[in-house]
Every structure is written in structure tokens, then in C-alpha cells.
A and B are shown apart, each in its own frame.
Chain A
Amino acid sequence: MAELVIKEVTKAFNKGTINEKTALDDLSLTLEKGDFVTVIGSNGAGKSSLLNAIAGLWPVDKGRIWLAGQDLTGLPDYQRAALIGRVFQDPMLGTAASMTIEENLALAAKRGMRRGLKKALTYQRRKQMKEELAKLGLGLENRLITPVGLLSGGQRQALTLLMAIYQEPQLLLLDEHTAALDPKTGEVVLKLTKNIVESLKLTTIMVTHNIKDALKIGNRTIMMHEGRIVLDISGPQREQMTTEDILRLFAETSGSQFSNDRMLLVQ
């Protein structure tokens, strides 16, 4: 079986009200181990909902999800976390601001494991943290006891990324994790992401608002619209694709203009 199998998943919000909104519409997607998939689409296309459905933020209305041979469908989010690493768009969401860098990492080191009354920070663990932090190249290895709240958005996002992979996950979910950063910092975090995912060969889904990045990074790109996947490209077809092609294809399949407020900002 493939690494990640999403089969005919549907999710609607505010069902039965005038605000009813189908975020995921009978969506199916299969990822092989080591796939690095980028996801693009207009605002409200269901990109975040796709990641939330996999992470188990809420139960889906219909369909099933398997990861690494395990049926995730009925599991709550905190149980799925044993297999899944996440980085959110908002740098505030991925770390505990009042706790230090080493405490945040110690929390991440036990992702999905039983937490007991053992000392969370040992000499050995600190040593390992320093080595891992040094790889980020941000000098955080010398600031283990700094409260995370004092870090910049980019630093926090890089730390969240490290936390997400500290215990190697079966699947890494990145939801526009550079969108809230200034372009230069976003670039740095994106490069880090690429290095980490490629060196660990992590199965990854990355939502981005930047079509150029989406085509450049990873080995496969999907485009979403109204809760469905309307384009799924990889291999040579993807290599020849340009941003203009994507915009044209989008207009053809959806009958509307590709519109993403964050995309406009970067072009």
C-alpha cells in the first residue's frame, strides 16, 4: 500500500445552515513514500482543510485515511501526532512562547510517546539539541534557555520545523509556513525545509501560495479548487510547466480566475 491514502473524503462546515460550505468534496489522493507534494489553489479551495483532515483536527463526514498502513480515520489529532509532524502558517501556533527553546524541543522529542516523570532535559539530550539547532544555521544552539517568545517569526518557524521532524515523522504537513514571514526570511526557511525534507527523504505535503516555489520544490504538484483536486502533475510534465501555464489551466478547469490574496503579494 502506498504511504498515504486518502479515499473519497468529504467535509462540510456549518451543515444545514445558509453558511454551509463543502471544504473537501469526495477527495482522493495517494502519496508514495518519499513523495514531496506541493499544493496550490485559491483562497478557500480547501488546502488547509486537506491537511487538517489528515492531522485529524475534526472528523471527516465521509471517506477514509490511511498513513503508513495504519487507518487514521477514527483517531483524534493527538494520537495521529505520533506519525505526523506539522508546521502552521502562524509562527505563534507551533511553539510555546513562555517556555525555553530547550523545553520546546524536549516536548517535541517525545512526540507521540508516553510522557512520564523522567527529567525532560538531560545532558545527553541538550547535546543532541545543540547539534540539531546548529544545522539550522541561525545561532539558536547558543540560546537554549531563551524563551521562545523572544524569537523572531522566522526563528520560531525554523524551530517549529525542527520540532516537527525531531522525532522523524511518517508524514510532514506544512501549511504556508513561510507566508507570514518577510520574503528574505521566508526564503531561508524554505531552503531549510528543502534541505531537511530531501536529506531525510520525508513524505511531505506543503501548501504554498507561491506557484513558482510549488513547481520548483518537491516532485509533484497538485492544484485544488472547491474542495477537489483539479490538477495533479509530476515528472517531465511538471518540469516544463510555468506559472502562466498553471494560471491558464486553472482558468480552463475552473472557469474562473486563480485568486489568492497572498499570491498577489509575492508576484
Chain B
Amino acid sequence: MFINLNLLLGATELGLIYAIMALGVYLTFRTLDFPDLTVDGSFTLGAAVSAVLIAGGHSPWLGLLLAPVAGILAGLATGVLHTRFKITPLLAGILTMTALYSVNLRVMGKANVPLLGLPSIYDTLARSGIPEKYAVLAFGVGCVVLLVFLLYWLFQTELGLALRATGDNETMIKSLGINGNSMKLLGLGLGNGLVALSGAAIAQFQGFADMSMGIGMIIAGLASVIIGEVLLGSRSLLRVLIAVVGGSVVYRVIIAIVLRLGFQATDMKLFTAALVVLALTVPQFRGKQEYDSLRR
């Protein structure tokens, strides 16, 4: 069979773990309307922190928990560049991303940290009674459900409303006494925290962290967000969060199928970029003002 159950399982696992990253991208790009390119760097940063901790003999869970802390700091760096030094969002993100390339290499000490034979969070889950085959799936589902729930809750708090409004209308939020800069720092921190968490989970899943694993991540995240919104719509807050997760899974399934067709893994960046261009130019999307910041 061309599309078999194992392909679907594998793609779903990846899709769920990458969905954590896509949720982060959704938070910055869509909620905050801040095209944040920090993502490529903060994803690798999360993977690096987690891998180095595990290689140093620490618990894989510690590696998973500290990664988002590093990601938050990366997001705050971009935030400070933008809010304090008045650098445009795109350039602020690129600056942090570039700087992170050196930082990540420092963290890892070399271009690639293998985790072969070392414990991962999935091993510990498998040992705690979850069938080994489904350990990754269990983690992915659990983590994504928890995060979707948390974000959904956050978006309805007083603070969350202020965060969402910041991405919608900066004149209004100021006139209502909201400090837009604080909101941007909050959103960028949280977004990149999620991205780094995803990076950590991926590194443990694939058994290594390397310098280039974050390249193109922002476009993959964007593709997931857009696919999700096209397929599932964005009628309500909960729905759009679920759509982002769904979009991530669908995106990974598409990638798996395209790979099956005989394309190289290295062709996927081109494919993904084309996918985003396509999505942004289909008629039903053109009228969507939400994507104005992505078009000229």
C-alpha cells in the first residue's frame, strides 16, 4: 500500500511535536501580528539546550523544561531590539536569529550532538507503561492538548485580551492604557518558548541536535498555520488553535507523501515555500485581512 498506517503514524507523531512550534508561530505571526523570524534560531536553541543537558547526564525532562526558558530569552531579545531600539520586526528577528547561530554553536560545542544510547523523554514514557510504539504519539497528544487548553484559557483572560488586541489595533490599546511594548515582549517570549520546546522534543525524537535543524522552520510553521486555517477555518478561538495543530499534522503527512513520491528531503524547503506562496495567492485567501502583513 502506498500510504500505509506506519507512514501516517510517523507523520502524525512529527506533526504533533512540530505543532508546538506552529502554535508559537501562530502566537507571534497571527495573534501579535509580528512576523518573527527568531523561530529558526530559537528552535535550534531549544534542541541544543536539551541535547547538551542529556549528553551531560541530566534527566531528559530537565532538558525539555529548560529549553523553553532559553527560547523565551531569545524571544525577549528580539522584543527588546524592536521595542527599545526601534528596529523593524523583520530585522529584529533576523538579527536574533543570526546571533543565535553563534550562540547555538557555543551551547553545543560542535555542529552536531548525538544522543544515541542516551535516555529520552519517550524512553521514560515507554518505561512507565505506555506501549513503546505509541510513546511519541502519547507525548505529542498530551503536550498539544495541554498547550491548546492553556492558550485557549490565556486568550480569554484580561491579559490575553490585551495581547490579542495589541496585534489588532495599537492605537486603541494605548488609549485603553495597555503598554504595547510589554505585550509584544510577552507574546514574543511565549511564542519562542513554545518553538524551543518543540525543538527539544524533536531533538530527543530524532536522537541528535544539529546546527541546521532550524533552517526553514518559520516557513514550515507558517505553512501549518495557513493549511490549518484553510482546512478548518478560524471561526472561534478554540477552533483556530485546533486548526493550527491539524495543519501541522496535515503538513507532515503531505511531506511524507511527497518524500514517498521520490523527492529528496532537501527538496522539502522549496516545496514548503511554494506551498505558502500558493496558499497566500489562492482567491479565498486574498481577501483575508489577517494576512495583510504577509503581503504587500
Nearest B residue to A110 by beta-carbon distance? B158
Q: Are A99 and B168 in contact (CB under 8 A)?
A: yes
Q: Are B169 and A96 in contact (CB under 8 A)?
A: yes
User: What residues of chain A lie closer than 8 Å to B169, measured between beta carbons?
Assistant: 92-93, 95-97
Say yes or no: is A152 at the interface (Cβ < 8 Å to chain B). Answer: no
Nearest B residue to A88 by beta-carbon distance? B171
B23 to chain A, nearest CB (A): 18
Stretch in A17-25, A75-83, A221-229, A259-267 touching the partner: A75-83
Say yes or no: is B274 at the interface (Cβ < 8 Å to chain A). Answer: no
Say yes or no: is A47 at the interface (Cβ < 8 Å to chain B). Answer: no
Say yes or no: is A31 at the interface (Cβ < 8 Å to chain B). Answer: no
Q: Are A96 and B172 in contact (CB under 8 A)?
A: yes
Which range contains the number of B residues in contact with the other chain?
Answer: 20 to 34
User: What residues of chain A lie closer than 8 Å to B161, measured between beta carbons?
Assistant: 99, 103, 106-107, 115, 120
Say yes or no: is B282 at the interface (Cβ < 8 Å to chain A). Answer: no
Say yes or no: is B247 at the interface (Cβ < 8 Å to chain A). Answer: no
Stretch in B85-93, B105-113, B177-185 touching the partner: B177-185
Q: Are A120 and B157 in contact (CB under 8 A)?
A: yes
Q: Are A78 and B177 in contact (CB under 8 A)?
A: yes
Say yes or no: is B159 at the interface (Cβ < 8 Å to chain A). Answer: yes
User: What residues of chain A lie closer than 8 Å to B154, measured between beta carbons?
Assistant: 117
User: What residues of chain B lie closer than 8 Å to A106, measured between beta carbons?
Assistant: 158, 161
Instruction: Tell me which of B158, B160, B164, B289 contacts A96 (CB under 8 A).
Output: B164
Instruction: Tell me which of A76, A85, A112, A117 contacts B158 (CB under 8 A).
Output: A117
Say yes or no: is A255 at the interface (Cβ < 8 Å to chain B). Answer: no
User: What residues of chain A lie closer than 8 Å to B178, measured between beta carbons?
Assistant: 78, 81, 107, 115
Interface of A is mostly: loop
Interface of B is mostly: helix
Say yes or no: is A118 at the interface (Cβ < 8 Å to chain B). Answer: yes
User: What residues of chain A lie closer than 8 Å to B177, measured between beta carbons?
Assistant: 78-79, 81-82, 110-113
User: What residues of chain A lie closer than 8 Å to B160, measured between beta carbons?
Assistant: 120
Nearest B residue to A163 by beta-carbon distance? B176
Instruction: Tell me which of B157, B165, B172, B180 contacts A93 (CB under 8 A).
Output: B172
- A169–B169 Cα distance when bound, in Å, is 21
- A112–B290 Cα distance when bound, in Å, is 28
Q: Are A97 and B159 in contact (CB under 8 A)?
A: no
Q: Are A118 and B158 in contact (CB under 8 A)?
A: yes
* Chain B, 219-248, CB within 8 A of any chain A CB: none
Instruction: Tell me which of A97, A116, A117, A119 contacts B168 (CB under 8 A).
Output: A97
Instruction: Tell me which of A77, A84, A98, A110 contacts B290 (CB under 8 A).
Output: A98
Interface Cβ pair total, 8 Å cutoff:
96
Q: Are B175 and A94 in contact (CB under 8 A)?
A: yes
Question: Which of A81, A106, A107, A116 has its CB near the most chain B CB atoms (within 10 A)?
Answer: A107
Q: Are A78 and B174 in contact (CB under 8 A)?
A: yes
Q: Are B156 and A119 in contact (CB under 8 A)?
A: yes
Nearest A residue to B157 by beta-carbon distance? A117
User: What residues of chain A lie closer than 8 Å to B175, measured between beta carbons?
Assistant: 55, 77, 81, 84-86, 88, 94, 164
Say yes or no: is A108 at the interface (Cβ < 8 Å to chain B). Answer: yes
Which range contains the number of A residues in contact with the other chain?
Answer: 35 or more
- A86–B173 Cα distance when bound, in Å, is 11
Say yes or no: is B162 at the interface (Cβ < 8 Å to chain A). Answer: yes
Q: Are B171 and A93 in contact (CB under 8 A)?
A: yes
- A110–B179 Cα distance when bound, in Å, is 13
Q: Are B168 and A98 in contact (CB under 8 A)?
A: yes
User: What residues of chain B lie closer than 8 Å to A97, measured between beta carbons?
Assistant: 168-169, 289
- A84–B176 Cα distance when bound, in Å, is 9
* Chain B, 152-209, CB within 8 A of any chain A CB: 154, 156-162, 164-165, 168-169, 171-180
B195 to chain A, nearest CB (A): 22
A191 to chain B, nearest CB (A): 23
User: What residues of chain B lie closer than 8 Å to A84, measured between beta carbons?
Assistant: 175
B212 to chain A, nearest CB (A): 36
Q: Are A96 and B168 in contact (CB under 8 A)?
A: yes
Q: Are A99 and B165 in contact (CB under 8 A)?
A: yes
User: What residues of chain B lie closer than 8 Å to A2, measured between beta carbons?
Assistant: none
Q: Are A78 and B180 in contact (CB under 8 A)?
A: yes
* Chain A, 108-135, CB within 8 A of any chain B CB: 108, 110-113, 115-121
B140 to chain A, nearest CB (A): 27
Sample of 14 more A-B contacts, CB < 8 Å, known A107-B176, A121-B156: A77-B175, A78-B174, A78-B180, A96-B173, A97-B169, A98-B164, A107-B178, A110-B177, A111-B177, A115-B162, A120-B157, A120-B158, A120-B160, A164-B175
- Nearest first, the 9 A-B pairs at minimum CB distance are A81-B177, A96-B168, A112-B177, A115-B158, A86-B175, A96-B165, A93-B171, A96-B169, A120-B158
Listed A/B pairs (27) with beta-carbon separation below 8 Å: A77-B175, A78-B173, A78-B174, A78-B180, A79-B177, A81-B176, A82-B177, A84-B175, A85-B175, A86-B175, A92-B169, A94-B175, A96-B168, A96-B172, A96-B173, A104-B165, A107-B173, A107-B176, A107-B178, A110-B176, A112-B176, A115-B157, A117-B154, A117-B159, A118-B157, A119-B158, A120-B161
